[in-house]
């Protein structure tokens, strides 16, 4: 658990915003940033974002719910949300753990995601749900 990044405290209720500011979410982060990671699946390799996890109850939309667009592909289990105005990925409901959201660490107010390096890589190409036998 990461409670501060380069001197910036991760608040128990920390705000997350898209680039244009239309979308503002409040995250419950009592344990700070949990399980930050990159992923090499087909969508994450294009986004390039560092992602961390919260339970589904851990995200409240403060502003801009109408600006959030949903993108789904393949098995259509995961729900990927982004701002319709600036295009920035904010969060997604995970496929491997549907009781969790992943969120864009780079959207946390005041947090420089590059200060987290090194960040582990998730093996998203070989998704657990795609492995057989």
Cα–Cα distance measured from residue 95 to residue 88, given in angstroms and rounded to the nearest whole number: 20
Which tokens in the block code for residue 96?
């491997």
Shortest CB 113 distance to Zn ion, Å: 17
Torsion on CA atoms 37, 42, 46, 49, rounded to nearest 10: -20
Q: Scan for tokens 């992923």, then name that residue.
A: 39
Shortest CB 100 distance to Zn ion, Å: 23
Instruction: Give the nearer residue to Zn ion in terms of CB position, either 5 or 18.
Output: 18
Residues near Zn ion (CB under 5 A): 18, 20, 22, 83, 85-86
What is residue 84's three-state secondary structure?
coil
Shortest CB 67 distance to Zn ion, Å: 6
Shortest CB 64 distance to Zn ion, Å: 7
Instruction: Give the nearer residue to Zn ion in terms of CB position, either 18 or 49.
Output: 18
Cα–Cα distance measured from residue 77 to residue 86, given in angstroms and rounded to the nearest whole number: 24
Instruction: Give the nearer residue to Zn ion in terms of CB position, either 33 or 107.
Output: 107
């Amino acid at each position: 658990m990461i409670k501060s990044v380069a001197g910036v405290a991760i608040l128990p209720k920390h705000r997350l915003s898209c680039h244009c500011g239309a979308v503002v979410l409040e995250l419950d982060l009592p344990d700070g940033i949990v399980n930050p990671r990159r992923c090499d699946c087909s969508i994450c390799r294009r986004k390039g974002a560092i992602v961390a996890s919260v339970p589904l109850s851990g995200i409240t939309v403060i502003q801009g719910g109408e600006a959030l667009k949903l993108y789904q592909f393949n098995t259509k289990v995961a729900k990927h949300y982004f701002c319709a105005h600036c295009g920035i990925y904010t969060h997604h409901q995970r496929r491997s753990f549907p009781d969790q959201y992943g969120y864009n660490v780079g959207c946390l107010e005041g947090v420089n995601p590059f200060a987290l390096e090194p960040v582990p890589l998730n093996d998203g190409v070989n998704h657990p749900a795609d492995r057989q036998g």
